[in-house]
Amino acid sequence: MTPLLDVKGIAKRYGRHIGCADVSFDLWPGEVMGIVGESGSGKSTLLNCLAGHLAPDAGEVWFDTRVDGPKDTLKMGEPERRMLSRTDWAFVHQHARDGLRMGVSAGGNVGERLMAVGARNYGTIRHQAIDWLGRVEISEERVDDRPTTFSGGMQQRLQIARNLVTGPRLVFMDEPTGGLDVSVQARLLDLLRGLVRDMGLSAIVVTHDLAVVRLLADRLMVMKDGQVVETGLTDQVLDDPQHGYTQLLVSSVLQV
C-alpha cells in the first residue's frame, strides 16, 4: 500500500521569520490528520504549502495520483496542479465566503465545480447539485437562493457540498468550524465524520480547537513556532502528551 500523501521536509520562511520548518509526515487513505497550535504556530502556512496555495522554500509533497501513481505536486505544471485541485483535492476555507461565489445561487456554486471537470448536461448537474444540498442538509427549495441569504452554518455546509461534489480523495480544511455557534459546530462535525467515513476521504484539518480534533481526527500533529513538536494518535497525544508545549495546551483547555 502507498500513502495518499507523503510530505517531506516542507519549509517556508517569511524573510527572517520561520513560517514552518522541516515538516514531514504521511497520510493514508481514509485518515484524518489534525494540525493544532496557537495563532502563528505555522499550521496555516503548512496547510497552504501542502495545498499549493503557497510555494514552500524546500520540500516535496507526493500525492498518489489516480493515473500516474505518486507524483511530487510541487514539481507539477500549473495546469496539472489546477486540475488536481478541481478533482482529487478540495479546500474548505474557514470563512465560507472565501470558498463560495457569493453572487451565484447555491445550486450554481455546486454545479460550477462539476462543470469545471467537464459536466455539461444541465439536468444532470442540477440533479447532482440538489442531491448534494440534501446531503449537507440544505433544503431543495433553497437551490436558487444566493449564499448571501444563508446563515453562517448553512454557508459552511454549502462550501462543503461544493468541495465534495466531484468526489475528491483529499480534503484540506482550515478551521472548518471556526466562527460558528457551538450548536452548529456539532452538526457540522457529525456531517464531516459521516462524509469522511462514507466516502473514504482523507483529510487534513487545521484548527486551534482541541475538542474538534478529538472528535474528528485520527491522528494529530502539534506545531509551535513553525516546528512540529509532537505527533501521534489523537487520543494518545491529548491524554498522554509528551512535549511540554502539548501538556500546556491540553491543560489550558477550559472544562465545562
Partner 1 sequence: MNFVQDGPMIQVTNLSKTFTLHNQGAAEIAVMEGADLSVAAAECVALVGVSGAGKSTLMRMIYGNYLAASGTITVGGLDVTQAAPREILSLRRVTLGYVSQFLRVVPRVPTLDVVAEPLLTLGVDVTEARDRAKAMLDRVNLPERLWGLSPTTFSGGEQQRVNVARGFIHAYPALLLDEPTASLDGANREVVLSLIEEAKARGAAIVGIFHDEEARDRVCDRQIDVSAFARRRAA
Residue 131 engages partner 1 in binding (rule: CB under 8 A)? no
**CB 10 to partner 1: min, Å:** 20
Distance CA 176, CA 61 (A): 23
Distance CA 97, CA 108 (A): 14
Residue 186 engages partner 1 in binding (rule: CB under 8 A)? yes
Of 112 and 218, the one with the shorter C-beta distance to partner 1 is: 218
Cell of 239: 491524554
**CB 190 to partner 1: min, Å:** 5
DSSP letter at 37?
-
Interface map 204-233 toward partner 1 (x if CB under 8 A): ----------xx--xx------------xx
Q: What backbone phi and psi angles, to 5 degrees, belong to 101?
A: -100, 105
**CB 170 to partner 1: min, Å:** 16
Distance CA 222, CA 39 (A): 12
Residue 248 engages partner 1 in binding (rule: CB under 8 A)? yes
Distance CA 96, CA 160 (A): 9
**CB 214 to partner 1: min, Å:** 7
* Cβ 138 vs Cβ 57: under 8 Å: no
- Angle of the 122-135 helix axis to the 106-116 helix axis, nearest 10: 120
Residue 239 engages partner 1 in binding (rule: CB under 8 A)? yes
Q: CB-based contacts of 73: which residues, under 8 Å, 6+ apart?
A: 52, 61, 62, 63, 81, 84
Q: How many residues of this chain interact with partner 1, rule: CB under 8 A?
A: 25
Of 113 and 219, the one with the shorter C-beta distance to partner 1 is: 219
Which residues of the shown chain bind partner 1 in the complex (CB under 8 A)? Answer: 28, 31, 183, 186-187, 189-190, 193, 197, 214-215, 218-219, 232-233, 235-236, 239-240, 242-244, 247-248, 251
